[in-house]
């Protein structure tokens, strides 16, 4: 009897797995807040936006740059009987700033992480490119970004600087003739990932 139960417990997940895989034809955007299923990226490159706003009269989604992928005009979401608004649209891979417009008021999507772009806090949508993996963690030697404070002779105040150090930077310090000096890109115009303060 125990052996039969063991085999049943082993076989049922194997039978149900293909059915579940058919339902799951995509994944939540990497830019979604934890445990949020939306925005949802489908395997065909389309993205579904969803928000519950039962008292809203009109809900739209709009890209912040007024270009592709969203177009120049906001896109209407469709309301169901439970007050949940959804729309599925094709969007190219990449990182896109966007906003929801609820009854004429621009708001951030509560299902998206908030980024600093377009000189304000805004929603972001990251759609990974299927053939590109430069942003994925790999088992390679990695450097680090270090935060340091220094006294500026120009301003007379303490200032913060971020310095990239390559792998094994602390090894063989005595052999180096000069310290590493490499400016990091200017992050003030738009942060895909906020710098810790």
Task: Please give the full DSSP string across 58-111, using - where no structure is assigned.
Answer: -EEEEETTSSTTT-SS-EE-EE-TTSEEEEEEE--SEEEEEEEEETTEEE--TT
pLDDT, the chain, mean: 78
| pLDDT of 49 above 90 | yes
Contact indicator for 73, 60 with CB cutoff of 8 Å? no
97-116: average pLDDT: 91
Q: Of 14-28, 60-74, 92-106, 134-148, where does mean pLDDT reach its minimum? A: 14-28
Least confident range of 113-122, 145-154, 159-168, 173-182:
173-182
Polymer length in residues for the chain = 197
Residue closest to 97 by CA, chosen among 60, 59, 63: 63
Predicted local confidence at residue 23, as pLDDT: 41
| 38: DSSP letter | -
Nearest to 127 by CA among 158, 89, 174, 161: 89
Per-residue model confidence (pLDDT) at position 50: 94
Return the H-helix or E-strand segment holding 16.
Answer: helix 2-23
> Confidence band (pLDDT; 50, 70, 90) for 58?
very high
Q: Nearest Cα to 65, choosing from 186, 185, 190, 187?
A: 190
> Once rounded to an integer, what is the mean pLDDT over residues 86-109?
90
Q: What is the per-residue pLDDT for 13?
A: 47
Mean pLDDT is highest, among 26-35, 68-77, 126-135, 182-191, for: 26-35
- Phi first, then psi: what are they for 11, rounded to 5°? -80, -40
Cut 0.85: pTM above it: no
Going by the DSSP 8-state scheme, the letter that residue 34 receives in this structure is T
Residue 164, token pair as written in the block:
């990239």
pLDDT of 24 over the 80 cut: no
* Predicted confidence (pLDDT) per residue in 60-86, tens digit: 998 877 666 677 788 899 999 899 999
Pairing of strands 158-165, 59-63: unpaired
């Amino acid at each position: 009897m125990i052996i039969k139960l063991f085999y049943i417990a082993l076989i049922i997940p194997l039978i149900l797995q293909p059915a579940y895989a058919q339902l799951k034809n995509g994944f939540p955007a990497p830019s979604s807040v934890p445990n949020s299923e939306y925005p949802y990226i489908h395997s065909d490159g389309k993205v579904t936006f969803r928000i519950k706003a039962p008292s809203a009269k009109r809900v739209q989604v709009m890209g912040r740059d007024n270009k592709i992928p969203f177009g120049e005009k906001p896109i209407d979401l469709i309301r169901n009987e439970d007050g949940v608004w959804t729309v599925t649209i094709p969007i190219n891979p990449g990182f896109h700033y966007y906003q929801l417009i609820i009854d004429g008021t621009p708001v951030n999507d509560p299902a998206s992480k908030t980024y600093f772009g377009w000189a304000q806090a805004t929603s972001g949508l990251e759609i990974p490119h299927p053939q590109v993996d430069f942003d994925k963690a790999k088992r390679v030697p990695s450097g680090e970004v270090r935060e340091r404070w220094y006294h500026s002779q120009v301003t007379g105040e303490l200032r913060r600087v971020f310095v990239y150090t390559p792998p094994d930077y602390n090894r063989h310090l005595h052999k180096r003739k000069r310290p590493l000096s490499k400016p990091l890109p200017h992050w003030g115009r738009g942060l895909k990932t906020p710098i810790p303060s």
